[in-house]
Amino acid sequence: MMLLAVTGYFLLVVGLLCLLFFPAQRNALSARLGAGVRQLAHGGSTGAGALFAALRRGIDSTRQRGRGTIAWLRRHRLQSAAVLLAVSAPSILALSLQQRALFELDDAPRAMDRHIALLLEGEQLAPPPALPPEAFTTREVTLMRPTAAWASRNWDLLDDEFRQRLLMIFKLMRERHGYELVLLEGYRSPERQASLAAQGDHVTRAGANMSYHQYGLAADIAFWRDGKVVISELDPWAMRGYGLYGEIAEELGMTWGGRWQMRDYGHVELRRPGVLGSARR
């Protein structure tokens, strides 16, 4: 919808600018339309045909003058570039803001699969035992997630409902597909979020209090295989796991980062309206 609106705006402004800067075409089109309207007022259905004929002649005349317009644009490249920039800037800005909003700022909740909801009723899952700190300082983890060693993996800091849904993902991934999951990061302080955002968009586009991590409603996971944390997206086994993980997360009514324009395969969040930007708990 945004793309259609921006495209319509662009075409409208270009058309208006053409009429503004090229009086010959404006006058010719106005004359043709005026003649057609007068014939329509006096000739009924015959006048309608005359109006369409006038419009057709106006279009043909405009097309002929188009060659002269192109020649004018070639002679006045600097002015043409300035006009094009003025027209394009609002469109580019709108598309840029839309892409940013698609990353982490949308708070629309998702529906949960009915069968999964039944599994959660009355279920009180317990977090898995904590892994030793050195598990998050291996070469692969350091390369893929340089700040993982300082990330919070405290399950108690997560929202109660989110924690149970996340643990259900852990359970179903193990029972359905044989994957063991590892919590890389759960709660993230506003200070840490701001520090990550300062590193650039390739890390995160969300500033402090604009990520669900700050509210215990988001988590990043990896896989546990042969006594090691596996993150790499170059590993086919891990990539298959990320896809299955995303499917189960969405069954649980959560948002999976693997569908974002800037992919974050290990990320899930439980969206709630009005949370982002509010005072942290």
Q: What is the pLDDT of residues 51-84, one digit of tens each?
A: 566 656 656 665 666 566 566 556 666 665 555 5
Res 236 pLDDT > 60: yes
What does each C-alpha distance from 164 to 25, 53, 119, 125, 161 come to in angstroms?
67, 70, 11, 6, 5
Tens digit of pLDDT for each residue in 146-205? 999 999 999 999 999 999 999 999 999 999 999 999 999 999 999 999 998 898 877 888
Domains recognised in the chain with CATH numbers:
2-100 (no CATH), 106-269 (3.30.1380.10)
Cα–Cα distance for residue pair 6/173, rounded to 1 Å: 42
Non-local (6+) Cβ contacts of 254 within 8 A are 110, 165, 169, 268, 269, 270
pTM for this structure? 0.62
Q: How many CB atoms lie within 10 A of CB 274?
A: 7
Tell me the C-alpha to C-alpha distance, in Å, between residue 129 and each of 103, 126, 155, 263.
32, 9, 11, 29
Q: How confident is residue 47, by pLDDT bands cut at 50, 70 and 90?
A: low
Structure-model confidence comparison of residues 136 and 203, the more confident one: 136
Q: Is 35 exposed, middle or buried (0-12, 13-18, 19+ CB in 10 A)?
A: middle
pLDDT for the residue 12: 64
CB-based contacts of 112, cutoff 8 Å, min separation 6: 251, 252, 253
Q: What percentage of the chain exceeds 90 in pLDDT?
A: 46
